Amino acid sequence: MTLKNLFRVVLIGLFIFMAGCGQNTGQAENTGNDGTDNSDLTPVKFALDWTPNTNHTGIYVAKEKGYFEEQGLDVEILLPGEAGVNQLLAAEKADFGISYQEGLTQARSEGLPVVSITAVLQHNTAGYASPADKDITSPEDFEGKKFGANGSDLEKAMMTALMKNDNADVEEVDYITTGDSDFFVAVERDVDFSLVYYGWTGIEAELRGVDLNMVYLADYSDKLDFYTPIIATNEEMIASDPETVKAFTHAAVKGYEFAIDNPEEAAEILIDRVPDLDPELVKHSQEWLSPRYKDDAERFGIQEQDRWQKFADFLLDNDIIDEPVDVEQAFTNEFLPEK
């Protein structure tokens, strides 16, 4: 075992220990449905990956519209804590949660038995964003610029892939670690560009009147058109209680399909459930995101093995993961409703 692997094993063990002790596993957003008696329903814990946003709308719709109750479920939404969603799922401290292909693939490579059961978005909407006056319109323009980074190896590998295609040198990019700093403050003060999701930060830029240039990952490499976000569970849940997995998936899909057809009403549900959110940002984000949930897929939520394999190979080829991942075990379409 390499030192890198040893460190990962220790880190995973620490996360699972913390989750097992009940520490920082996420604060419950709510329980039951407005005080109704749910004693005849199956309790389910659902963990968010981030503060509530429009990636999560379908879950809030399913809860508000009673879709989970129709399936016999009482779903408790857990806000994010210090332990990540994949660690909570692996430790069986959450039954389902919002994850992402890049994180779940790395988790499986490290031995965590997490499984994707639904794609929330069919295509990767992440891209390198910069104010238009910085004139960054393609990967070759990254040279000589300051990039607001989070410091991960995956981040460097993705940028390297894009710049190679443009015969540009990633070593000419100045990486400045900005962590979770506000994008608009960072590009005004510290850096020239950063990696964002257009469905939230890009829409916020529109509302602020800030013109952005976007260089989308998926436009330059099909290997980077991975599923993000996804809904995940763990192998034990699938093996021991497939009916609950099916029931949860059917209700969640119904929630997202409602948001596809009714973006304005879906946004209002999220705003009502999470009143601290900016209502205008939620409404405009939902309008942009709703047609992209299903996009060009035959049905909402479906995942393709070829896309899982290409990204797993990318991670292995770039030494982001040390062990190959059997992608047939990493995702399933088994629980999606038939059309």
The DSSP line for 69-119 is: HHTTEEEEEEPP-SS-HHHHHHTTS-SEEEE-HHHHHHHHHTT--EEEEEE
Residue carrying the six token digits 């984000």: 285
- Tell me the pLDDT band of 181, cut-offs 50, 70 and 90: confident
List, for residues 78-136, the tens digit of each pLDDT value.
Answer: 998 888 999 999 999 999 999 999 999 999 999 999 999 999 999 999 999 999 999 99
Question: What's the mean pLDDT in 214-227?
Answer: 97
Question: What's the mean pLDDT in 204-208?
Answer: 98
φ/ψ of 34, rounded to 5, equals 60, 45
Query: SS3 for 337?
Result: coil
Q: Is residue 159 within 8 Å of residue 217, measured between CB atoms?
A: no
CA gap 207, 175 in Å, rounded: 28
Q: Which pLDDT value is given to residue 180?
A: 78
List, for residues 11-21, the tens digit of each pLDDT value.
Answer: 444 444 444 44
Q: Which helix (H) or strand (E) holds 42?
A: strand 42-47
List, for residues 60-79, the tens digit of each pLDDT value.
Answer: 999 999 999 999 999 999 99
Q: In whole numbers, what is the pLDDT of the chain averaged over residues?
A: 91
Q: Which pLDDT value is given to residue 16?
A: 41
CA gap 290, 292 in Å, rounded: 5
Q: Which pLDDT value is given to residue 81?
A: 85
Q: Which pLDDT value is given to residue 312?
A: 98
DSSP H helical segments within the chain, as ranges?
A: 3-20, 57-64, 67-70, 85-90, 101-109, 153-165, 183-189, 203-208, 217-220, 235-240, 242-261, 263-273, 279-294, 305-317, 327-330
pLDDT tops 60 at residue 10: no
List, for residues 223-239, the tens digit of each pLDDT value.
Answer: 999 999 999 999 999 99
Q: Which pLDDT value is given to residue 88?
A: 97
Burial call 264-278: b when 16+ CB within 10 Å, e when fewer: eebbbbbbebbeebe
